[in-house]
Amino acid sequence: MMERGAEEQGYLEDFEKLTARVSSNGGAWLADLRNRAMKRFRALGFPSTRDEEWKYTSVEAVRKAPLRIADSSGADTVRSPAPFAAAGWDRYELAFPGTGNGAGGARSDGVFIGPLADAVDARLPWVESHLARHADYEDHAFRALNTAFMEDGAAVRLDPGRTLDKPVHLAFPAPSGEARNRIAHPRTLVVVGAGSRLTLVETYTGSDADTCCTNAVTEIVLEEDAVLDHYRLLRQGEKAFHIGTVQVYQARNSRYRSHSVTSGGAITRVEINARLDGEGADCQLQGLYVAGGRQHVDSRTVIEHAKPHGTSRELYKGVLNDRARAVFNGKIVVHEEAQKTDARQSNKNLILSRDAEIDSKPQLEILADDVRCSHGTTIGQLEEDELFYLRSRGLDPAVARKLLVHGFASEILDGIAIELLKDGLTAQVFSELEA
Amino acid sequence: MLEVRNLHARVEGKEILRGIDLAVGAGEVHAIMGPNGSGKSTLAQVLAGRDTYEVTAGEVLYKGQDLLGMAPELRAVEGVFLGFQYPVEIPGLNSLYFLRAAVNAVRTHRGEEELDAVDFMALAQEKMKAVEMGEDLLRRPVNAGFSGGEKKRAEIFQMTMLEPALAILDETDSGLDIDALKVVAHGINLFRSPERAIILVTHYQRLLDYVVPDFVHVIQNGRLVKSGGKDLARQLEDSGYAWVEEEAGEGSGLGERGPAA
């Protein structure tokens, strides 16, 4: 613990630079929040594999990399084109950095879509009441860092009873181009009002080979009867680190559907945590992780049933090749009060090489007595029966294998309701599998 | 077209086929009948190239070539088709996509141009009618959630799409109600031609009322113990397999040969 100082020095210098730059923005509460978070980060330090929560994922490489933030928001960062955007699907889009702060966001008829900094400057009341109230940083160094450094990112708010006519796309290209060893801390706040519906697409992409790190936090608040379809699509460059948290707060009868697709990146860790804090809330988490080479991908979910009659469905699938290593940790917590909870979790892994590895760990903590909870994990290779069936129809073994792997991944990809996005992403994932 | 000579095969050390001799000529339909565990499905799987079975002796010539030396996919594109007793469900793999890949594998091997999506669909629609298969099945993943009857129809449909020279249909009749059986039989009869041969592997005589075979063979304990014309199937239906067993016990125990290919 004593020796960690050197790596943290850069973060301290950056923090001073940042606070000097943004001090005029947002009022005292935000400055205070940043200070508290930075203090917490300094107390925690980077996690090590001795920490139970990080047992299978070493972030030593992240700790040791001389990562620095950009000198000013977006100034020395060359934005690579977001591959997901090519498909031409209809959407509202904000790209970070790139969407200039001060643009004010689109505000009309009870809808706000804009940079988080603008929402802070405008002192919109829902920002202060929700920002950093859900994504807890007390025990999480990366969330603490994000909270201290949050700068680029979006704020989206739908007043009660609104339905947007198209999805909102938040594009986060990894820090790249001339900016080597950059770290970015995108922060997004989404508040969906009672009875409102929103489709949110977050894409994190990176195309170059420079070491960089994205440390993202997205906070989502679903008021009563709100519905959110959330796509979190990740495709990072081969030397990229990505640490991400999605923290969801669900009120009564709200519905949250998450589709998380992860590929690329050297070290990737995505945590999706939902707290079902109202009766009858529904949470569906679907995930696909694809890894090859020496990639490390860690998927971590916590579904917390705090009130009765909640339902959750979770299916995460992984395809691992070469020497890739994956971690799945799915935790379901059912509080004593949360009777009649119906929770199901499944993690399925397809291992294509002898040297690939998966640590799959389902965790159930059930304190209520009248609940239905189940979980299951499968780790397997391609089925010989299926392979023979396809070969007996004339398909070359390599083609047959490819079709079966695609079939395995399609179960998740087919759940993407935006057709053009699904097609583009499917093509990308499949090309990755063949690389 | 097909010549099987003294074929022995085993699985996990247990001998299942113990000297099969069979000759099938173009234009012929052969029925191989036998009780459960007699080795009839093993024979079908070995001919298609399933590597869980180890061939320990004998040889198989298909159009004069060494069939056992060929990989399963090569057998398929050369015109050998196995209709599975239990067609495999593959969730996530689209039927249309799969079948077009299969049809085009065969076409490429024959030196023909690949079918594009439009031409493929037109061909599929025509062939589906013959087995009264709903187009919606093609939009679903391969065999996933199909009923028993739907799976068997889908196998026959695949056969008509792939146009093999030799079709080996493993218990294609099992699990079918009489209407479905008639539909499947109709599909097989349409497929019959002087250039093609069919081997029907079946437990029951029922299918043979609708697809009349030229030859019937009885398989028992891994050997063909009796061969005859279509009337043999009727005899089996009336008297069961026991009398063949007795006869075989008295006789040589070696299978009789069908006519040379």
Tens digits of residue pLDDT in B107-140 = 999 999 999 999 999 999 999 988 888 888 888 9
Q: Does B260 reside within a domain? A: no
Enumerate the H helices of chain B as residue ranges: 40-48, 72-77, 95-109, 117-130, 135-139, 148-162, 178-191, 231-239, 242-250
pLDDT for res A361: 94
Residue A391 reports pLDDT greater than 50:
yes
How far does chain B reach from its first CA to its final CA, in angstroms?
A: 6
Q: Look at chain B and report how many structural domains it folds into.
A: 1
pLDDT for res B239: 79
What are the strands, taking DSSP E only, across A55-167? 92-95, 106-108, 111-115, 154-158
pLDDT for res A339: 97
Select from A384, A385, A391 the Cβ nearest to the Cβ of B73: A391
Q: Does B39 reside within a domain? A: yes
Q: How confident is the model at residue A208 (pLDDT cuts 50, 70, 90)?
A: low
Q: How confident is the model at residue A72 (pLDDT cuts 50, 70, 90)?
A: low
Average pLDDT of the residues in B59-83: 97
Closest-CA distance of chain A to residue B87, Å: 8
Task: For residue B124, give the CATH number of its domain.
Answer: 3.40.50.300
Residue B76 reports pLDDT greater than 70:
yes
Average pLDDT of the residues in B26-41: 93
Q: Does B261 reside within a domain? A: no
Closest-CA distance of chain B to residue A408, Å: 6
| CB-count burial class (<10 Å; 0-12, 13-18, 19+) for B110 | exposed
Q: Does B257 reside within a domain? A: no
Determine what percent of chain B is predicted with pLDDT higher than 70.
93
Q: Are residues B93 and A396, on separate chains, in Cβ contact within 8 Å?
A: no
Select from B71, B102, B141 the Cβ nearest to the Cβ of A393: B102
Q: Does B259 reside within a domain? A: no
State ipTM: 0.92
Residue A415 reports pLDDT greater than 60:
yes
Average pLDDT, chain B: 90
- Give A45's contacts (C-beta < 8 A, 6+ positions apart): A1, A4, A8, A141
pLDDT for res B160: 95
Q: Per residue in A285-328, pLDDT tens?
A: 999 999 999 999 999 999 999 999 999 999 999 999 999 999 99
Q: Does B138 reside within a domain? A: yes
DSSP codes of every residue in B107-118: HHHTTPPPP-HH
Average pLDDT, chain A: 89
Q: Are residues A389 and B91, on separate chains, in Cβ contact within 8 Å?
A: no
pLDDT for res B193: 96
Interface A-B, measured as beta-carbon pairs within 8 A, has a size of 78
Q: Per residue in A361-383, pLDDT tens?
A: 999 999 999 999 999 999 999 88
Q: Per residue in A164-188, pLDDT tens?
A: 989 999 988 876 555 678 899 999 9
Q: Does B215 reside within a domain? A: yes
SS3 A171: strand
pLDDT for res B255: 43
Quote the domain boundaries for residue B180: 2-250
Bond before A97 cis per omega within 30 degrees: yes
Q: Does B104 reside within a domain? A: yes
DSSP codes of every residue in B51-77: TTSEEEEEEEEETTEEGGGS-HHHHHH
Q: Are residues A394 and B91, on separate chains, in Cβ contact within 8 Å?
A: no
Does A387 lie at the interface with B, CB-CB under 8 angstroms?
Answer: no
Q: In degrees rounded to 5, what are phi and psi of residue A312?
A: -140, 140
Residue A2 reports pLDDT greater than 50:
no
Q: Are residues A392 and B49, on separate chains, in Cβ contact within 8 Å?
A: yes
